[in-house]
């Protein structure tokens, strides 16, 4: 059963024992005329027994003794936070946390490509009346989390209660396979703490999931798992142009493109700084790739005749977020590849443009509006299909349009880059930060204890 929450002023007082002072006005707001003299005071998933004092005051306020408060004074004192009162318990929150990579020490935290985004999360949560912190795998301790809070413009270490909800932004797949990660995930599961975007997705499982959906199947490029040389040979007979992609790849890295021409067989490689290589036989191209293909799983995927913008390949990153009422598009970015590159990923030198501008230049106003609508609707359908396979709050959907104006799905990302959002005039807090924080707060309030 969802808890009822009310935003109220929170104050601190000194007492050698845990104690709470609550106004009659706040009790009345929760439909209560009396309350037990000893209550459970909860912040996040931690709680303590506290002596209760009722103050005859029609205003709405709560005062908590510092001895009962498991967070730094400046995070709670003199702020408006959400409070829930029921039976014999009082909860303060919500408390939302983000799990980051292991790049932190006692003195500093490392946030590669995420510093601004995490600051925006912290600022937005503070203004919304939510407690927020970051933590890494090694920060989860017995009874508390040795997390990071934003204080006076800097990230500072602070002992914090267990959170009400956690968003996973660990940036390395191997970290998610570690025993520490698996153990933490199990602890959160046992504690009933919602953990959204709990892992990276891989290209092949996404293809299999979406292939089962008759609505989405027409938007998927032909793909096959590369398990042997025979799979490659079959593709060379069926397609004159196709990609060889790492199943667990990201950021446009380690991708090959095979092309059959009158001159021979060309092989492009995003891992190579040089240009494409020419082979006399398709077998020779496979021999060249083979050492890499044995190190990790790959898949084969037909090449789409992608629409170009100013002579360069074009695709779209559609950033979607889950809300109480369902999935919605938060932002759209057009991505154009770098010179002489066959992928448009920004990490490979691509550039970001506003979608409306690009589509209008290519198709005119009317058709551009129709394509934007189709991109949004398809992205939301993809999110619904992926969400049936786990708990997700944010997904990056990569789509493209071919030369015949047909839309194709390229990839789904559960850890979308925070550098790929095109935001006009750069607002202080980007839409995706607001959406992730809102979903974290929603899960915290719905699943509060």
Residue 162 lies in a domain: yes
Residue 156 lies in a domain: yes
Task: Domain of residue 280: give its range.
Answer: 228-302
Residue 311 lies in a domain: yes
Residue 442 lies in a domain: no
Residues 358, 298 share a domain: no
pLDDT at site 449 = 44
- Write the burial class of residue 162 (CB in 10 Å: 0-12 exposed, 13-18 middle, 19+ buried): buried
Q: Which of 93, 125, 153 represents a domain boundary (last residue)?
A: 93
Residues 239, 166 share a domain: no
Work out the pLDDT band at 345, boundaries 50, 70, 90: low
Question: Is the pLDDT at 416 greater than 50, yes or no?
Answer: yes
Residue 439 lies in a domain: no
Cα–Cα nearest to 303, from 256, 250, 359, 269: 256
**Helix (H) or strand (E) run with residue 359 in it:** helix 355-363
Q: Burial letters for 222-235: b for 16+ Cβ neighbours within 10 Å, e otherwise?
A: ebbebeeeeebeeb
Residues 68, 124 share a domain: no
Residues 89, 100 share a domain: no
**Contact yes or no for 37/90 (Cβ under 8 A):** no
Mean pLDDT of 252-270: 92
Residue 312's DSSP bridge partners are: 309
Residue 445 lies in a domain: no
Question: Over the chain, what is the mean pLDDT?
Answer: 91
Total number of domains in the chain: 4
10-24, 105-119, 240-254: the lowest-pLDDT one: 105-119
Question: Is the pLDDT at 87 greater than 90, yes or no?
Answer: no
Mean pLDDT of 53-57: 95
Question: Is the pLDDT at 109 greater than 70, yes or no?
Answer: yes
Residues 103, 78 share a domain: no
Residues 253, 323 share a domain: no
Q: What is the CATH number of the domain that holds 353?
A: 3.30.470.20
Q: Which of 93, 117, 136 represents a domain boundary (last residue)?
A: 93
- Three-state secondary structure call for residue 136: coil
Residue 436 lies in a domain: no
Residues 253, 240 share a domain: yes
Q: What is the CATH number of the domain that holds 178?
A: 3.40.50
Residue 22 lies in a domain: yes
CA distance 93 to 442: 11
25-39, 75-89, 267-281, 414-428: the lowest-pLDDT one: 414-428
């Amino acid at each position: 059963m969802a808890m009822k929450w009310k935003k109220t002023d929170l104050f601190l007082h000194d007492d050698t024992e845990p104690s709470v002072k609550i106004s009659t006005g706040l009790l009345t707001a929760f439909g209560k005329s009396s309350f037990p003299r000893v209550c459970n005071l909860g912040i996040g998933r931690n709680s303590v027994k506290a002596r209760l004092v009722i103050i005859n005051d029609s205003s709405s306020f709560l005062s908590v003794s510092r001895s009962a408060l498991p967070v730094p004074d400046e995070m709670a004192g003199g702020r408006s936070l959400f409070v829930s009162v029921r039976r014999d318990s009082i909860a303060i929150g919500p408390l939302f946390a983000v799990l980051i990579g292991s790049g932190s020490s006692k003195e500093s935290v490392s946030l590669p490509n995420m510093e601004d985004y995490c600051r925006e999360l912290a600022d937005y949560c503070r203004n919304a009346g939510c407690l927020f912190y970051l933590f890494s795998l090694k920060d989860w301790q017995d009874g508390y989390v040795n997390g990071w809070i934003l204080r006076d413009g800097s990230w500072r270490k602070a002992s914090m209660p267990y959170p009400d909800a956690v968003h996973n932004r660990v940036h390395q797949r191997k970290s998610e396979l570690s025993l520490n990660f698996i153990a933490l995930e199990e602890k959160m599961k046992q504690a009933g703490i919602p953990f959204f975007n709990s892992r990276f997705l891989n290209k092949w499982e996404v293809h299999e999931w979406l292939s089962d959906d008759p609505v989405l199947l027409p938007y998927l490029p032909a793909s096959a798992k590369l398990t042997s040389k025979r799979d490659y040979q079959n593709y060379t007979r069926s397609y004159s142009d196709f990609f060889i992609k790492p199943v667990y790849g990201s950021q446009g890295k380690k991708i090959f493109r095979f092309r059959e021409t009158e001159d021979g067989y060309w092989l492009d490689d995003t891992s190579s700084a040089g240009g494409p290589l020419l082979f006399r036989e398709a077998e020779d191209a496979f021999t060249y790739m083979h050492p890499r293909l044995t190190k990790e799983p790959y898949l084969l995927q037909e090449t789409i005749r992608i629409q170009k913008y100013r002579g360069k390949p074009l695709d779209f990153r559609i950033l979607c977020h889950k809300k109480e009422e369902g999935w919605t598009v938060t932002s759209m970015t057009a991505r154009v590849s770098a010179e002489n590159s066959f992928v448009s990923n920004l990490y490979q030198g691509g550039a970001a443009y506003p979608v409306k501008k690009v589509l209008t230049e290519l198709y005119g106003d009317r058709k551009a509006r129709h394509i934007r609508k189709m991109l949004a609707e398809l992205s939301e359908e993809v999110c619904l299909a992926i969400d049936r396979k786990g708990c997700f709050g944010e997904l990056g959907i990569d789509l493209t349009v071919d030369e015949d104006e047909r839309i194709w799905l390229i990839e789904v990302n559960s850890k979308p880059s925070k550098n790929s959002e095109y935001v006009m005039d750069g607002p202080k807090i980007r839409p995706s930060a607001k959406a992730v924080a809102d979903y974290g707060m929603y899960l915290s309030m719905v699943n509060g204890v």
